[in-house]
Structure 1
């Protein structure tokens, strides 16, 4: 994982080539304005991974999983075939949280047990892995800021020892008070940020170690 710093410059990339260029160890965040915006990005992340023969792990809320599965089905993908080929591993984010949250705080050992098991299964047949996680967004929505930041830190520590790309997303509606400081807290834990327009699910991507342009 590249080290975090406060360089003020961003490098911009077209969204149409972003997922093709993405590398292991990257921790990507999207702060989105509408569900459709986020789902378009997630769909691109998942389908590009499948077509690249990666194993894609998706830890999302039940409504988002249902919407994603509907889009995959409409695009001709079979969830059964993807699972059989070890190309797609969905998991309910609330269920995942219940496996390692203790007294409203992420337990590091239990977290490691969960994610190491998932990654080990995903890397079967020497596949590359990419993962999406929405657990942090759930904690953030509950105003559990400390637990959110801690979970991001646990993900970063795990990514340092395992070669895979991690993508997470937060609804913009969650940043209502002290927005600048709140966004900085989130962006400081990531190596890339997806900035989206109101009319597209995937617009421009900005590469930076920390901060907001």
Structure 2
């Protein structure tokens, strides 16, 4: 799929494709309503529409990402609704317009020496606090408010952030949770630059230069 991607918008890569395959394997119910959080170029939301979703809503906090997703949807002639917003806006969307059958999320999850989340720039796409869980924890806590009964969350992140923590948090919120996809990949540029810091923090073993990506599925009974 050809995609327009302005500078500063997250480029689809291994985590994107792993999540898209998990969505394909999940087999969308006919006429499903889908929410794509942290949409970036909009590729996952557009994939959901091509897989048969009746409606897809894409949210991103970056104005550039919103513009890119809108342009890509128009380019591919897909009826994607794109809005600028964060998780709080997603909860509001669900309360006003109805909850979703499927929520997709490829949020920022890279551990960062900076405790504060970035407000602008490329790091907005990946930095997520010292343990990489600032956005993940909020998402896990809010997931049941976004889904219809029987709905599913599909969430991708690095194993460096604590896969078991994600699974446990979703279960604490009354959801069934499991890992439905895994892939081991080499460190990208950001993690390579932070390797020494990650070793000091005990997040990776000495000399480790690979990470495991996981897609976690959470089902609301």
Q: If the length of structure 2 is used for normalisation, what is the TM-score?
A: 0.43
Bigger proportion of residues as helix: 1
The answer to which structure, 1 or 2, has the higher relative contact order (CA under 8 A, 6+ apart) is 1
Q: If the length of structure 1 is used for normalisation, what is the TM-score?
A: 0.44
